[in-house]
Homo-oligomer: A and B are copies of this chain.
Amino acid sequence: MEPFEVPDVVVLRLPLYVRALTQLVAEETEVVSSQQLGRRLQMTPAQIRKDLSYFGRFGKQGRGYSVSFLLKELRRILGLDRQWRACVVGVGRLGRAIINYPGFAPEAFKIVAAFDSNPQQIGNTVGDLQVQGMFALSQTVQERDISIGILAVPAAQAQSVVDQLVESRVRGILNYAPVAPQAPKGTVMMNIDPVLSLQSMTYYLKNLA
């Protein structure tokens, strides 16, 4: 059971569950109650049960969840039981760092292409990728079956690159530029939001002072 209308904020919480359950598997915990999972994530058991209830029944009343089963199911629900191919657009400092980040591969993501609009970057090697010009975007996306574009371009170029990605049928866009470009329906855009992080940080800073 996977009804289409799961609230966005619930979907945004699922990766936190996946992370906690992955830790539990590493600790060789086989069964976890919503109380225990709640303590780890500082969420009430009822909130956890409600979130999970959107996707079916995972536990038996009073018995807790099978850690490995729940993890497997959540990974399947999130689409993490397959590999997703991504490209990076913009090979400045950030783009290079993203390409060389070791954290994507174990999590079902593989960066298979890099693009830049600057002719001087074309042909350069970043990680084990050769930087391509934007003119090659559409063909490479098709040939290499790329679903996700990671935007690491200047803010002023973000909208134009989004348009090009959408035209090339890239449906998922992770935007690092601190602007919010528009994308048509049927595209999934995630914006990295620095303000939320800063607003939590100041809580601690205030208490340090």
Contact = CB atoms under 8 A, between A and B. Distances in A.
Contact of A94 (B44, B79, B92): B92
Nearest to A49: B44
Contact of A92 (B19, B92, B186): B92
Given A9-B42, A198-B107, A200-B14, A98 B4 contact: no
A147 B204 CA distance: 12
A25 interface: no
A199 B199 CA distance: 23
Contacts of A200: 11-12, 14-15, 78, 190
Interface in A32-70: 41-44, 46-47, 50
Nearest to A90: B93
A178 B78 contact: no
A202 interface: yes
Nearest to A147: B205
Nearest to A19: B196
B79 A148 contact: no
A18 B193 CA distance: 15
A200 B153 CA distance: 22
A176 B94 contact: yes
Contacts of A153: 93
B155 A101 contact: yes
Contact of A206 (B42, B79, B190, B201): B79
Interface of A: 2, 4, 6-12, 14-16, 18-19, 41-44, 46-47, 50, 77-80, 84, 86, 90, 92-98, 100-101, 103-104, 107-109, 147-148, 150, 152-155, 171-172, 174, 176-179, 186, 188, 190, 192, 194-209
**9 tightest A-B CB contacts, nearest first:** A79-B206, A101-B178, A79-B202, A15-B199, A92-B93, A7-B42, A9-B42, A94-B94, A97-B155
